[in-house]
Amino acid sequence: MTDLVKQWIREDIRSLSAYHVPDPGDMIKLDAMENPYLWPESMKQQWLSQLADIPMNRYPDPSASTLTSRIEQVMDVPEGMSSILGNGSDELIQIICMALSKQDAKQDAKQNAKHDVNPESVVMAPEPTFVMYQMIARFTNMAYQGIPLDSQFQLDMPAMEKAIETHQPAVIFLAYPNNPTGNLFSEQAVRKIIEMAPGLVVVDEAYHAFAGHSFMPMLSEYDNLLVMRTVSKMGLAGLRLGMLSGLPEWINEFDKVRLPYNINVLTQFSAEFALQHDDILEQQTNQICADRTILQQALNSLDSITQYPSAANFILFQVDNMSSETIFAALKRSGVLIKRFADSSGPLANCLRVTVGTAEENQAFIERLGKILS
């Protein structure tokens, strides 16, 4: 590493590893929680015919106003709330952290002394959870505090309450359902966290389509609650489009941090087109939920498998008598790619995660896993 890099790149950034995404090649891809279904051919042709008229020489609508209105309607954002769109949920997490990060420590210390608040900006989340909460906290010079879930991957409320009181977090991220465990937290527990939090609570509902429960209707009940959604799990992962909703006072401040033209013209058009056919997206979601049940039953039929409840489009499981590394490698050699966690001693030790694919993909996974276990 050159001296110039050491001089100008922050030490904490140099210590990080880049986010790695494996190349699936020709394998059955069940590692990234994607919707496995394409659009019907007639819908695809209609989209392509209209795509030719997109003015590629012009900048997009800077606020994506038409798309925002449409997605708010589809996502049932309550009246009186506002929304901001991001280049995936990752950008929205970054916007939140950038806006809440303490930039003037002396001024903030004086202001917070009146309220007995820790001047350090803290991001908090129960763990294990979505890795980008911690990574983006570090990118934006915020402190990160992870609170372990209990043995059943539920919120450890005594630990959460103590941590909130001690660290006074600027924002708490709650993935709902949680990633990578797939379970929903208790509504009562989440409400208690919202009520005692000194700052924001962001309920990240990336997998809301599969969950059957949402905090979106509760936005008007709490002035410190925001709900984040994405269209990625609805079959539009390639568009990179997320939405953050809440009181206009919060959204207006976050909009100041958002880069102009962050949602390109192709994404704006394509997402709006897709949401005009939300009945097809819903059919695909319902099929995935049905296939999730079948896949859970198939896993239960295999010896030595422990799987965890899932309200998402993936299933977390472990094999009691074989290492996750062995299973992962054997599945990969057989042409199936799932997710293996590197955690060797923590709560995800020896765990694997499989995305719910098509019926044929799920069957291939089960058959090949069964051969590996036999």
Task: Please give the average per-residue pLDDT across 8-29, as a whole number.
Answer: 84
Task: Please give the average per-residue pLDDT across 157-173, as a whole number.
Answer: 98
The amino acid at 10: R
Q: 118: pLDDT confidence band, cut at 50, 70 and 90?
A: very low
Higher pLDDT pick, 200 / 1? 200
Strands 200-204 vs 171-175: parallel, antiparallel or unpaired: parallel
- Whole-number pLDDT of residue 106: 44
| CA–CA separation, 46 and 141 (whole Å) | 46
Q: 6: pLDDT confidence band, cut at 50, 70 and 90?
A: confident
Q: How much is the mean pLDDT over the chain?
A: 92
| Domains, the chain, with CATH or none | 3-41+279-373 (3.90.1150.10), 57-277 (3.40.640.10)
Residue 258 above 50 pLDDT? Answer: yes
Q: Which whole-number Å values give the CA distances from 113 to 106, 187, 192, 255, in the listed order?
A: 11, 33, 25, 28
Higher pLDDT pick, 114 / 240? 240
- Whole-number pLDDT of residue 116: 46
| CA–CA separation, 358 and 364 (whole Å) | 10
- Whole-number pLDDT of residue 11: 86
Task: Please give the average per-residue pLDDT across 66-89, as a whole number.
Answer: 97
Highest mean pLDDT among 90-104, 108-122, 148-162: 148-162
Query: What is the CB-side half-sphere exposure of residue 353 using CA atoms within 13 A?
Result: 23
Residue 326 above 90 pLDDT? Answer: yes
Choose among 306, 352, 347: nearest CA to 126.
Answer: 347
- Whole-number pLDDT of residue 113: 46
Lowest mean pLDDT among 4-8, 115-119, 321-325: 115-119
Lowest mean pLDDT among 14-18, 213-217, 369-373: 14-18
Q: 3: pLDDT confidence band, cut at 50, 70 and 90?
A: confident
Task: Please give the average per-residue pLDDT across 232-244, as a whole number.
Answer: 94
| pTM of full prediction above 0.95 | no
Percent of the chain with pLDDT over 90: 83
- Whole-number pLDDT of residue 269: 96
User: How confident is the model over 19-61, as pLDDT tens digits?
Assistant: 777 788 889 999 999 999 999 999 999 999 999 999 999 999 9
- Whole-number pLDDT of residue 1: 67
- Whole-number pLDDT of residue 249: 98
Torsion angle in degrees (nearest 10) through CA of 285, 287, 290, 294: -120
- Whole-number pLDDT of residue 115: 43
Residue 105 above 80 pLDDT? Answer: no
Beta-carbon count within 10 A of 198 CB? 17
Higher pLDDT pick, 115 / 234? 234
